[in-house]
Amino acid sequence: DREKIIMTGVLSLKEKKIRVVMTNLEDVFMLEANRIVDDELVLNVYGFGYSRIPVYEREKDNIVGLVYARDFALPDTESGKFTVRHIMSFCKHRYGTSITPDDSSYDVFNLFKKEQYHLGVVVEYDNTSEKDPRARAVGIVTLEDIIEEMIQEE
Ligand code: ATP
Ligand code: ATP
């Protein structure tokens, strides 16, 4: 029955690593921080239909923030003066920044609950550079991904 399925799902979360539930970076719809916000961009954002959109700088694995699709309802797209970075600083949204592929989905579920965010960027630490290892994004995980895993029927 349904209760049993959910109980089993919750328990299986402990074993399930983030790497199997996350959305890989190459499938993530993102925006570049310096991109001008024009009508084309706004149509693109609404067209994709995602609520939360990571923002990157230079390289796609360098995620520096998060914008919401709904933030794009406000800015003046005529002036050509607004960039994604402006939106990012006007509308601040919290998200997870130090989740790794080997974390347990159960721990991330609890983190989301505690911190009240719905999305985390999954990172790997680049240990080739001796000092100041850079966190390289490899994907994103949302509350939805984890809940889906929890209520999955075997
Ligand atoms: P909401 O349901 O709150 O409107 P949403 O539909 O945009 O949000 P989620 O429900 O959180 O997104 O996630 C649904 C799936 O889409 C998940 O697998 C998630 O990893 C993926 N996803 C979320 N945002 C993006 C994005 N910007 N690019 C690609 N995939 C995304
Ligand atoms: P996200 O979906 O990414 O978390 P959000 O912050 O807009 O975006 P929720 O996650 O649903 O919305 O809510 C976060 C917290 O803010 C919750 O504790 C919720 O109860 C509270 N909250 C949401 N909307 C309002 C509101 N209009 N007024 C007061 N509190 C709100």
For 92-126, how does the pLDDT look when each residue is reduced to its tens digit (9 = 90+)?
Answer: 999 999 999 999 999 999 999 999 999 999 999 87
Q: Do the Cβ atoms of 25 and 139 come closer than 8 Å? A: yes
Closest to 97 in 3D by CA, of 71, 74, 76, 115: 115
DSSP state letter for 40: H
Confidence of residue 129 (pLDDT cuts 50, 70, 90): low
Q: Has residue 73 got a pLDDT over 60? A: yes
Ligand 2, atom nearest to 95 Cα: 3
Please give the distance, rounded to the nearest whole angstrom, from the Cα atom of residue 23 to the centre of ligand 2.
Answer: 24
Q: Which residue has its alpha carbon closest to ligand 2 atom 19?
A: 116
In the prediction, which pLDDT does 131 show?
A: 66
From the CA of 143, which ligand is nearest? 1
Strand, coil or helix: 3: helix
Q: Is 114 exposed, middle or buried (0-12, 13-18, 19+ CB in 10 A)?
A: exposed
Question: Does the beta carbon of 144 sit less than 6 angstroms from any atom of ligand 1?
Answer: yes
pLDDT digits (tens, 9 = 90+) for 35-52: 999 999 999 999 999 999
Q: Which residue has its alpha carbon closest to ligand 1 atom 2?
A: 51
Complex ipTM more than 0.90, yes or no: no
Task: Measure the CA–CA gap between 141 and 16, rounded to whole angstroms.
Answer: 13
Q: Has residue 74 got a pLDDT over 70? A: yes
Ligand 2, atom nearest to 68 Cα: 3
AA identity, residue 27: D
